[in-house]
């Protein structure tokens, strides 16, 4: 008896609301990437959530009118504190775990694939030559070395 339909796919904005609230709660609390939100950007989650929900609703369902510049805040963050492959690896890890914990299906797979693709694109654009390359057919590859597994203490 589950309190949530963990076996269902992501169907629309109401599901994204739940996914994103859970993801950003985990991201804010994360020792590696949390400080980008809490200390550097001073992000107000209640302001960020509707924007990021628009972003994802548009990315997955073409349903919202997101026209903001998603790159600019990351460029500002990166100049305040370098965002590394390990940081992006952690983002991807939290994103995949959050999606997998709540949903299963084609849209969930697309959400994970797009998250990793955008993480890689952001990292490449910010870090230039320091980013992993998309060579050897490994497009979308975030190196395993960038993933720091969370301890389950």
Q: Kindly state the smallest distance separating residue 2's Cβ from ligand HEM, in Å.
A: 27
Task: List, in order, residues 6 or more apart from 4 with CB less than 8 Å away.
Answer: 18, 102
CA pair distance 115, 6, nearest whole angstrom? 20
Q: Kindly state the smallest distance separating residue 60's Cβ from ligand HEM, in Å.
A: 11
Residues of the shown chain interacting with ligand HEM in the complex, contacts defined by CB under 6 A:
33, 36-37, 41, 43, 48, 51-52, 55, 68, 70, 73-74, 77, 83, 87-88, 91, 115, 118-119, 122
Query: Which one, 51 or 138, has the nearer CB to ligand HEM?
Result: 51
The answer to whether 11 touches 107, Cβ cutoff 8 Å, is yes
HSE-up (13 A, CA, CB side) for residue 123: 26
Query: Which one, 32 or 104, has the nearer CB to ligand HEM?
Result: 32
Query: Which one, 3 or 62, has the nearer CB to ligand HEM?
Result: 62
CA pair distance 28, 117, nearest whole angstrom? 21
């Amino acid at each position: 008896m589950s309190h949530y339909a963990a076996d269902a796919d992501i169907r629309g904005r109401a599901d994204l609301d739940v996914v994103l609230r859970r993801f950003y709660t985990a991201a804010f609390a994360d020792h590696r990437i949390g400080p980008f939100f809490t200390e550097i950007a001073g992000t107000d989650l209640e302001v960020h959530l509707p924007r990021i929900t628009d972003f994802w609703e548009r990315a997955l369902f073409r349903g919202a009118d997101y026209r903001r510049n998603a790159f600019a805040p990351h460029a500002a963050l990166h100049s305040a504190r370098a965002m590394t492959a390990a940081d992006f690896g952690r983002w991807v890890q939290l994103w995949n775990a959050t999606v997998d914990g709540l949903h299963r299906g084609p849209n969930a797979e697309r959400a994970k694939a797009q998250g990793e693709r955008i993480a890689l694109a952001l990292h490449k654009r910010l870090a230039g030559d320091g980013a992993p390359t998309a060579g050897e057919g490994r497009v979308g590859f975030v190196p395993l070395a960038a993933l720091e597994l969370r301890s389950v203490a």
